[in-house]
Amino acid sequence: MRGFHSKSSTEAVGLAELWYAWGMSSILEKSLVVGPFQCNCRIIACPETGEAAVIDAGDDAVKIMAALEKVKTPAGAPIQVKYLLHTHGHLDHIGATRAVKEKLGAGPSGAGAKSAGVPVIALHRGDEQIYKALKMQGSMFGMTYTDPLPIDHYLEHDEELRIGSLKLSVVHTPGHSPGSVCLRLHEDSSNGARETLFSGDTLFQGSVGRTDLWGADGDLMFKMIRERILTLDGDTRVCPGHGPDSRVGVEKKSNPFLV
């Protein structure tokens, strides 16, 4: 669930349908604002191999699928989703995961998913119970969901994920929820990737995640922000789960919850 951060819907929607391109071989990246909670769903893809990841498929599976179908490599080939990654298990970040995986071709779950070439649902184990309680979460807001698909892979702190030539590392940042993570995309001039942190609902532009939900811990969240996020290079782009992007250096200097 989104935190203290609040922006108008017009401003949030202005973030949708954005493309980013850097370098001679440009990373493919798309941002979509999905669902009533206006979650930022991110698509990133390697321009060379076409391997891709969807981060926080929170809602609007049809919209996400339409975006995936439009993304092509520089050679004109379609992309293949390798991972359905989640920064945490709240309903607005997982609500469309089942539908997206099924539309992409649901195969075996668990360890067999990788070898079968179907998208791997990945989440930190600390949020497994929250993830499994999707139907209960929805009932609190008058929303109806089916049970989520099994988690195929449990993310771990400092784990490295490869999406073609793109390198992601997992930064466990518990506090907003026990299993909240940030996903760090490492800079690489060969594929145009710039240093980026997909911060979920831990850090926003000018705000931080709420800590009044099940399993939340405010003191721990602030500790993780200071030790594992604000220590990154100041030019690192921060892509939060809601609202506009920022930079680590900007938040370190001006975020009223951190100064």
List the domain boundaries for the chain. 9-254
Which top CATH class is 9-254? alpha beta
17-27 average pLDDT score: 50
Q: Are 28 and 45 in contact (CB under 8 A)?
A: yes
Given a contact cutoff of 8 angstroms between Cβ atoms, the answer to whether 211 and 175 are in contact is: yes
Answer for the pair 115, 67: CB distance below 8 angstroms, yes or no.
no
pLDDT digits (tens, 9 = 90+) for 155-172: 999 999 999 999 999 999
Q: Is the pLDDT of residue 22 over 70?
A: no
Distance CA 188, CA 195 (A): 8
Mean pLDDT on 212-234:
97
Kindly report which listed range (112-116, 121-125, 228-232) carries the lowest average pLDDT score. Answer: 112-116
Structure tokens at 91: 């309903």
Query: Residue 175 has what pLDDT?
Result: 98
Q: Residue 142 pLDDT > 70, yes or no? A: yes
Stretch 11-33: mean pLDDT: 58
